[in-house]
A and B are shown apart, each in its own frame.
Chain A
Amino acid sequence: MKYAWVLAMAVVMACLVGPRLESCGPFPIDMLFTTYHGVLPAELESGQVGVLRPHFYRRDLLLAYRTLSGLQPAGARAAGRREATAASAVSEAPRSPVEAWMDARKAITPVPAPKEVRTDKKVPGADYEFFQNCLGDAFVNAATTLSKRVAQWGAGSANVAEWVRGQDQVFQNCPGGEAIPKELTAGDPLLAADRRYQIAAAEFYAGKFEEAAGDFDRIAKDAASPWHEIAPYLAARACIRQGTFEDDDDKMAEATERLRGLLKNAALRERAQALVDFVRARTEPQHRLVELGKELMQPNAGPRLERVITDYTWICDHLEESSDEAPAEKSDVVEWIKAFQAREPAIAEWRAKRTMPWLVAALVSADVKDPAGAELVAAAHAVPASSPAWASVTYWGIRRQILAGDPDAARKWAEQALAAKPPVATANLLRAERLKVAQDWTEFLRFAARTPAAISFIDAENPASPDDVRKKPAAFDKDAATQLDEHVPLSLWADAVKNDLVPRNLQADLAQAGWVRAVLLKDAATARTMAARTAELRPELAGEMKTYLDAQDAAAARFAAVFLMLRGPGFEPVVRAGFDRGSPVMERDMLRDNWWSLVEERPDGDRDANHEALYDLYLQGEMGPEGFLSKEQRAAGEAEWKVLAESAGNSVNFLAGEAIAWAQAHPQDPQVPEALHQVVEATHFGPADGKKSKEYSKQAFDILHRRYPNSEWTRKTKYWY
């Protein structure tokens, strides 16, 4: 039983931390107030594109351009959006073509089947890069052909056995090779034709592209072969593979030539055209980009739209490496995405074209000092709320008014926009704008809170689920939290904790932090008010708060508060942006997010990714509005912050100092041994700051062991830190 408490603690901590972290690691789950990468899937489906931002994925910008141009929404699927939801996670993996082939292969023939078929092969010349050598269609085709041959020759026939042996050899080349089946010079003519096809396929997968193309060409000329129609297409594919691996433009050109010859064949046209597009994306990227821009704007692009978007993004991703000359013709979408992503001046384009995409781009990029901005703002005002461009032009238009020094207009516009009840992510951005121009405390409270909008998981941003919202129905973003922590006086905190403009869960956060704050500032009356409010809003802390409220005098109350804070590592004098601390207030956090430190500073230029949207409004990175407090209120708030930072900036040293002083003055207090034990613990699990904390740790340890050798808390305190 000696280590039972260690085990119990480990179990408790593991239970607390495990579920929260089980999906973390390199790919985290995070709560977001708006999206960074793109439009939320539900918005895409409904024809909305939210507030477009320059760092959105190109896929999203392409679809947004289409939607803003008046075409039918394409849906999230076209955006290639990975929807990492619980629903997608629980679905079973579909049966793969390889499995379908292996099942067909095992069920029918007595020839021993290979244990597995692997499809990936190392890229020639590369050590670590693989490519998918054998695609799914090959296995589907093999299974279908086997079924036909069994129907013709019988499952136990020698012909089927020979066919399967040949096909096994073909697929041996998928990961390795080379394994080329032998030609059959006698026997069934169909089997011989199949074998010639298998030989060409094996050569293809083995990387013998010249031989494969030649053999496919010969099959194409053999009208009796069942493969003569598809063979020219496969010969072209052999040229493409050779051209790709050997970086041979001539081979790519030859492939294009061959494929163009197949465009007249109705059965092959679609596949041939897809390969032509594939080749041209690599050989003529700039020209192909222009073409893709036009294809994107086809009203009924249908399933082809996904390929268009994939090709477009592939070209953009690789364009910097290309030396291809710019095309004579320009594509509007290409120019728009380039300008929008780089925030290039776009007012001239807007004036010339008067389209929604260019209005958005012009609003994003316009110099706030440019008088032409008024023209853009007027145009943005004219966009109806039903337009998919409304959220973007409204947000960027209001931002322009704020930065141009027209806060009255910005306030009015933001409130009108919020009255339209936009989706959560858009509303959060508009509330941030409205907060930026808050004129008084009431306005600050009205617009400080945000609603969780999205969950980021791997590279996807999905809407926040009802469970996520239940966990944290309202939260502060960094603009409000920074102001509350560093500039708002305690007297206003006392108002906020009972103000109906503040969501109840945030009232609770403020009351709990406000109690700590008031104690540290030695404002006993406010501390009592905050404690009572905390008990009311957080029943789980009611008992703890009662111990504070029941204290006999001011000094005892102060020690009761210090003692309670030592026992509750979640207490801190600040409110946080976004998520709360993960662990309950009265429990230690395994990841050492315990107590507080007000003296840490982020390195210069470091941006907080979770609150990234606010940097569009606060260009210097200092978050929060300035005009909502009177000069006196702000001075009072900042003076309080200074006192907090100077007297209790480091929680460990503050709490340790207070507790040790009490212990020395009140050695008979039965709570002293536990308090000293908690001091030592805090110097280990809290933000200790080196020498000073070590001194406190040793001092508390020594007093404990010297004065209270028989206390259970002394027994629990084996070391100092």
Chain B
Amino acid sequence: MGEAARGVRRAVLIGLLALAGCGRPDPLPGLPRVMLWAWERPERMSFVDPRAAGVAFLAGTVEWRGGKVEARPRYQPLEVPPGTAMVAVVRLESWTGAMPDTAAVAAEVLRAAELPRVRAVQIDFDARRSERAWYAELLRRVRRGMKAEMPLTITALASWCGSDSWITELPVADAVPMLFRMGAGEPREVREFAAGVCRSSLGVSTDEPLYAAPHGRRVWVFHPRPWTPEAYRAAMQIAGRWQ
């Protein structure tokens, strides 16, 4: 292959990469570049600067055993300053047996979208390989049930964002690669994700250093304990490192 041909191919590749993620528009427009995950514990986050950070709060948990669905809303208080951008997170837990009707689970997820001032919905589900088709169907159903202008996002195992293409076919605006608590073989060096849908966000934790990751992404920060002003400052520093 000649130099010219290689140059053309490279240009095309760069263009495709830009379309795939590098230059893609923000899939969650209007959300701050830092989002703090507020999990199922009392969270009093009055110290958050709404211009700098939003809050992705666990709005509910849906779990099933043998196809039987049980849903729990958030039982813990959550205080945020007025004007804070809110993302409702729904955690899915699959225990055993047959997968439930996606309609039943979607209905529970959609309740979260109705909570006040929620700008986006995020689903947190570590789908096993055998559950992927079901999960894709669930996401399609949830997407159809949401207002068109409200983005749907998911958390993603880092492996999903590799060369495994299944995630690219999901009807989600954004997938947040979770670069923490990954057990053995964790990716200490992440420079880019193959899946374009994973190229707008990073999921990190205040208690696990991340040594290498792509810059310029929206950073979602988990804190293993209730948020405090000190933890908030630490989170903003961590997030700043990857901006």
Residues of A within 8 A of B (CB): 6, 9-10, 13-14, 17-18, 20-31, 89-93, 96, 120, 123, 126-132, 578-583, 589-593, 597, 600, 602-603, 606, 609, 686-688, 705, 719
Contacts and interface: CB of A to CB of B under 8 A. Distances in A.
A581 B207 CA distance: 21
B126 A17 contact: no
B163 A18 contact: no
Nearest to B55: A128
Contact of A18 (B159, B186, B211): B159
A579 B66 contact: no
A24 B157 contact: yes
B76 A93 contact: no
Interface string B154-185: 01011100111100000000000010111111
A14 B164 contact: yes
Nearest to A471: B184
B207 A20 contact: no
B165 A21 contact: no
B232 interface: no
Contacts of B57: 128
Contact of A128 (B115, B159, B187): B115
B159 A21 contact: yes
A24 B163 CA distance: 19
A603 B191 CA distance: 20
Contacts of B144: none
B147 interface: no
Contact of B182 (A10, A24, A127): A24
15 contacts: A20-B184, A22-B129, A31-B184, A92-B66, A92-B68, A132-B75, A581-B185, A582-B184, A591-B162, A591-B186, A592-B189, A603-B209, A609-B207, A687-B188, A688-B191
Contacts of A719: 10, 13
B112 to A, nearest CB: 9
Given A93-B65, A129-B76, A606-B209, A21 B115 contact: no
Contact of A25 (B68, B77, B155, B164): B155
Contacts of B129: 14, 18, 22
Contacts of B68: 92-93
A106 to B, nearest CB: 17
A25 B209 contact: no
Contact of A129 (B78, B155, B189): B78
Contacts of A92: 65-66, 68, 96-97
B117 interface: yes
A591 B182 contact: yes
A359 to B, nearest CB: 30
A129 B77 contact: yes
A26 B124 CA distance: 9
B183 A24 contact: yes
A469 to B, nearest CB: 15
Nearest to A714: B1
B126 A579 contact: no
A128 B59 contact: yes
A19 to B, nearest CB: 8
A90 B66 CA distance: 9
Given A25-B155, A580-B184, A18 B77 contact: no
Contact of A591 (B78, B126, B159): B159
Given A14-B164, A591-B182, A23 B75 contact: no
Interface string B180-220: 11111111111100000000000000011101100000000
B209 A602 contact: yes
B185 A583 contact: yes
A113 B129 CA distance: 39
A591 B159 CA distance: 6
A123 B117 CA distance: 17
Nearest to B207: A609
Contacts of A578: 184
A56 to B, nearest CB: 16
B158 A591 contact: yes
Interface string B62-93: 00011010101111111000000010000000
B116 interface: yes
B95 interface: yes
A18 B126 contact: no
A13 B164 contact: yes
Contacts of A582: 183-185
Contacts of A123: 77
Contact of A593 (B65, B72, B73, B186): B186
B222 interface: yes
Contacts of A131: 75
A579 to B, nearest CB: 4
Contact of B162 (A126, A590, A593, A606): A590
Contacts of A590: 159, 162-164
Interface string B127-148: 0110000000000000000000
A578 to B, nearest CB: 8
B95 A25 contact: no
B21 to A, nearest CB: 17
Contact of A600 (B1, B73, B211): B211
A123 B76 CA distance: 10
Contact of B185 (A14, A126, A132, A591): A591
B74 A591 contact: no
B163 A6 contact: yes
A25 B178 contact: yes
B207 A593 contact: no
B29 to A, nearest CB: 23
A131 B75 CA distance: 6
Chain A CB within 10 A, most for which of B86, B162, B222: B162
